[in-house]
Amino acid sequence: MTQIPDWLRLKKALTVEAERGFQDLQGNQYRFSEFMTLSLGESLAVGTSDHRRRWQSLAQEFALYPQMDQSQRQALIASTRQFLHQFQKDLETPPEPPKTPKTQPLGIREPHSPTSGNIPPLDAPLNSLLEIDRRWTGDALARLGLYTVRDALFYYPRDHIDYARQVNIAQLVDGETVTIIGTIKSCSCFTSPKNKKLSILNVQLRDRTGQIRLNRFFHGAYFTNRGWQKRHELQYPVGAIAAASGLVKKNKYGITLDNPEIEILDSPGGSIESHKIGRILPVYPLTEGVSADIVRKAILAALPAIQHLKDPLPPVIQNQYSLIPLQQALTHLHFPPDQTALSQARRRLIFDEFFYLQLGFLQRRQQQKQIHNSAILATTGELIEQLKKILPFELTNAQKRVINDILNDLNAPIPMNRLVQGDVGSGKTIVAVFAILAAIQSGYQAALMAPTEVLAEQHYRKLVSWFNILYIPIELLTGSTGVRKRREIHSLLETGELPLLVGTHALIEDPIQFRKLGLVVIDEQHRFGVEQRAKLLAKGKSPHVLTMTATPIPRTLALTLHGDLDVSQIDELPPGRQPIQTTVLTTKQRLQAYELIRREIADGRQAYVILPLIEESDKLDARAAVKEHKRLQEVIFPNLKVGLLHGRMNSAEKDEILTQFRDNVIQIIVSTTVIEVGVDVPNATVMMIENAERFGLSQLHQLRGRVGRGSHKSYCLLMNNGKSPDSQQRLAVLEQSQDGFFISEMDLRLRGPGEVLGKRQSGLSDFALASLVEDQDVLNLARNAAEKMILADENLEGFPSLQEELETRYQKMISGSILT
């Protein structure tokens, strides 16, 4: 059930902001405008459709609050207060009882109850059921992966259409799904004069409030046969009572139902026999050549077998979390009698999806903690103390907290499996260095793996500056490393003379052997596949694992993707980091962007110009960058040095360009997202991103993090070529916030987890029903239930059916992809 907003917090926030002069106050976690945007966004499902539109409008307005002047801010807060007051009154006023339609009520009957003598077994082939046409329907269902009765029962609808609401013709509203009942005034079936392969059935239906024309369309030469058309007309005789269900649409002829389902009733009060008309209709995923009717018919035929299903979820959990039985949930998901039954069914089955995934994660985590052959690393020692002395900066409280988490893990015989989330520039690398030194001073080796050569080289340069002072050898291994150097690294690793190796995929692709690997650090870990990570871990004996990401994800996704990991967050930026002034510009303001770049370069600074990755094609990507580079160099900035960087370049070419950029030989670098992570040029102060509407918010935040790394004021210019209002709303989030966690939360709400993470990178299988955005409350309940279950019976020995279901579901859901 949707939660009503916390009125007290909303009103207090509005009051304090007004009292303090509309300054967009900074709270403990969010700015005022960020808090209001999130709070109002969570309320979008509350109230009537008018209320929901107003919630959405207010959320969009508060996203633009930082750009408003004081009078605009004052007006927005005043109107929001008025709306909250009125909405609260509306909630407290009981609604008027709905008016009963004067037409006869629908006589909808439940699906026939199965008889004990005709219940197919769960593993029976679908085409063995009498209702299934063995000749071709069985083959069509097989194309959807439906072979057995069990397959059909667990083939969930992707949506439902509510035809249960009956209205009079005069009450029809464009966009609603309804059922109407009336008398047939005329019926004709004919071939379209514009398309000789299209037949049209035209039915005129009238009730006491009005008249409507309904059309159904039949494509194919078979239906243009005049005999077929005449027989079809006879099915809808004039004067008969008919029920029709469909989506209300308005066209040039007026209001109609879009390709409706129509059924003749025995009498004005007669019952509807169809499983489509006047009901909540399930909509299933289909493929070419398989109609919705075929799937519904198969599932209806399989439904009696639900009696064979055993519910593996213990009754104590069902009772504690108010969950209906599995058999009832499946029945009502496929053919719900009403919206309440459908909501209860979805809640139970969504709970199951989350519960088994979390149960698998927690069981795996417990098993990891039983491994006691991992290296116990000294968390105090000479190297760590020396590092503290040579650091030219003071660690933040967040860094100290995370370092403490890591050192506590390393001091235990159980292998560490920790994820460190930190915003751009939060200082994750130095946190990893403390872990690396703990391994080295304990006599072990460490490996740091990064997804790209640019990022690996960036780590190497940073670590060398510290490790040379500590007299610790360190080497870099990438695809560009020469054969002779590669052999030297292999030899030093095998003898133990090389304590730390930084590299890319080459660390796992090379036949290298560590003498005593105790710690593995993986940066931007979501960019590596499970097999790649496992290969690196296999080069040691239960080494400790520290993974890092500069792409913060909301807690909901962290629980789902990393349920078997301990998660630490560096939620504080080092002192002195200046906020980056971010501005959304249209193509008409491009000259202003170029003028800012010229001013900054005249002051000795440098700039990036980023182009979007198009269809993940290096060729398209490179051509776009090459064309823009030529235009900027020859037309816009002919007196400056403009460099080019893209994914088709080899490592030597990339190194040369980046070196020239670091040395300020190149003032402007035109690049693709190859520079998203790993490039650290403190003198660069302008980040101009073309077609910013094509990027996700989190990726834009990552790109923005390439500037603002020095002591100079920095700028991020988001060029919005999109015409949609949504693109302006999305990009406004970047204007108002520098908080990566807030931005990722908004990205998740606006685009969903598949787009935010990238499905290939996240390894997240699609849930059949659950939504990580809309079902966070159920996820939290499922996580809580799974924790209690593991605490009570870690190996589920007392629940064999639950353990069996877990093994089946967990493997399907992770597909071997989520595990780290």
Residue 727 confidence (pLDDT) above 60? yes
User: Cβ atoms within 10 A of the Cβ of 197, count?
Assistant: 13
**Contact assessment for residue 543 and residue 415, using Cβ atoms and an 8 Å cutoff:** yes
pLDDT at 2: 38
Whether 347 is covered by a domain: the verdict is no
Give the pLDDT score at 615.
Answer: 47
Per the document, the length of the chain is 820
Q: What is the pLDDT of residue 47?
A: 62
| pLDDT surpasses 50 at 29 | yes
Distances (CA, A) of 580 to 29, 125, 295, 634, 713: 19, 62, 54, 29, 7
Question: Per the structure block, which two tokens stand in for 65?
Answer: 């609050």
| Closest C-alpha among 454, 477, 515 to residue 669 | 454
The predicted pLDDT at position 533 comes to: 59
- pLDDT > 50? residue 817: no
Together in a domain, 50 and 177: no
Least confident of 31-45, 203-217, 442-456: 31-45
Q: State the average pLDDT for the chain.
A: 81
**Does 14 reside within a domain?**
yes
Most confident of 286-295, 380-389, 742-751, 782-791: 782-791
Choose the final residue of a domain: 708, 737, 766.
737
Check whether 777 has a pLDDT greater than 50.
Answer: yes
Residue 51 inside a domain? The answer is yes
Highest mean pLDDT among 160-164, 355-359, 575-579: 355-359
Question: Both 604 and 540 in a single domain?
Answer: no
Distance CA 667, CA 817 (A): 42
Query: For residue 551, what are the CA distances in angstroms to 63, 144, 426, 703, 817?
Result: 22, 36, 11, 11, 19
Q: Which is higher by pLDDT, 93 or 733?
A: 733
Cβ atoms of residues 512 and 489 within 8 Å: yes
Q: How far is CA 221 from CA 217, 294, 654, 701, 788, in A?
A: 12, 22, 61, 56, 62
- If asked whether residues 497 and 401 sit together in one domain, one would say yes
Longest dimension (CA), the chain: 98
Each residue of 602-638: b (16+ CB within 10 Å) or e? eeebbbbbbbbbeeeeeeebbebbeebbeebbeebbe
Domain boundary among 92, 110, 139: 92
Name residue 560's amino acid.
Answer: T
pLDDT on residue 475: 94
Question: Is residue 515 over pLDDT 70?
Answer: yes
Examine the domain organization and report whether 481 and 436 are in the same domain.
Answer: yes
**99, pLDDT greater than 70:** no
Q: Is residue 645 part of a domain?
A: yes
Range with the largest mean pLDDT of 45-59, 297-311, 358-372:
297-311
Parallel/antiparallel/unpaired status of strands 715-719 and 642-645: unpaired
- pLDDT tens for 462-493 read 899 889 999 999 999 988 888 899 999 999 99
Average pLDDT over residues 41-45: 58
Supply the pLDDT for residue 526: 57
pLDDT bucket at 550, cuts 50 / 70 / 90: confident
Model confidence at 760: pLDDT above 70: no
Residue 676's CATH number: 3.40.50.300
Do 12 and 56 contact (CB within 8 A), yes or no?
A: no
Express each pLDDT in 684-705 by its tens digit: 999 999 988 888 888 888 889 8
d(CA 73, CA 312): 55
- CA–CA separation, 601 vs 599, rounded Å? 6
* Same domain? 719 vs 601: yes
- pLDDT at 585 (0 to 100): 93
Q: Is residue 100 part of a domain?
A: no
Assess contact for 213 and 185: CB atoms under 8 A. Answer: no
- The whole-number pLDDT of residue 816 equals 39
Q: From CA 594, how far away is CA 715, in angstroms rounded?
A: 12
Query: Global pTM?
Result: 0.64
Q: What are phi and psi of 213, to 5 degrees?
A: -105, 125
613-646 pLDDT per residue, tens: 644 455 545 457 888 899 999 999 999 999 998 8
Q: Is residue 417 part of a domain?
A: no
Residue 424's closest CA among 551, 581, 578? Answer: 551
Do both 523 and 615 map to the same domain?
Answer: no
- The last residue of a domain, from among 737, 770, 804: 737
Residue 53 pLDDT greater than 80, yes or no: no
Read off the pLDDT of residues 314-349 as tens digits, 9 standing for 90 and up: 999 999 999 999 999 999 999 998 889 999 999 999
For 186-229, give the secondary structure using H, E and C.
EEEEEECCCCCCEEEEEEEEEECCEEEEEEEEEECHHHHCHHHH
Q: How many CB atoms lie within 10 A of CB 250?
A: 12
Total domains, the chain:
4
Q: From 594, 679, 685, select the one nearest 631 (Cα to Cα).
A: 594
Contact predicate 645/675, CB 8 Å: yes
187 and 41 in a common domain: no
pLDDT at 65 over 90: no
Cα separation, 240 vs 270, whole angstroms: 12
Q: What is the pLDDT of residue 650?
A: 79
Beta strands per DSSP E along 623-683: 642-645, 668-671
Residues 592 and 727 in one domain: yes
Give yes or no: residues 597 and 709 share one domain: yes
Rounded Cα distance between 281 and 458, Å, is 56
User: What pLDDT score does 756 carry?
Assistant: 46
Closest CA to 705 of 427, 395, 397, 398: 427
**CA-derived radius of gyration, the chain:** 32
Per the domain annotation, does 795 fall within a domain? no
Confidence of residue 105 (pLDDT cuts 50, 70, 90): very low
Q: What percent of the chain has pLDDT over 90?
A: 28
On whether residue 126 sits in a domain, the answer given is: no
Phi, psi for residue 245 in degrees, rounded to 5 = -125, 145
pLDDT in tens, 495-508: 999 999 999 888 87
265 and 185 in one domain?
yes
**pLDDT score of 46 more than 60:** no
Pair (527, 647) in one structural domain: no
pLDDT tens digits for range 365-408: 777 677 666 667 777 778 888 988 888 888 889 999 999 999 99
Claim to verify: residue 498 and residue 603 sit in the same structural domain: no
- Which tops the pLDDT comparison, 247 or 532? 247
Per-residue pLDDT, 697: 85
What is the average per-residue pLDDT within 238-253?
88
148, 611, 639 from 769: Cα distances, Å: 21, 36, 58
- The whole domain housing 726 covers 581-737
Q: Can you tell me the distance from the alpha carbon of 122 to that of 49, in angstroms, rounded to the nearest whole number?
A: 43
- Tell me the one-letter amino acid at 209: T
Report d(CA 532, CA 507) in Å as an integer. Answer: 10
The distance of Cα 643 from the centroid of its chain, to the nearest Å, equals 35
594 burial class (0-12, 13-18, 19+ CB within 10 angstroms)?
A: middle
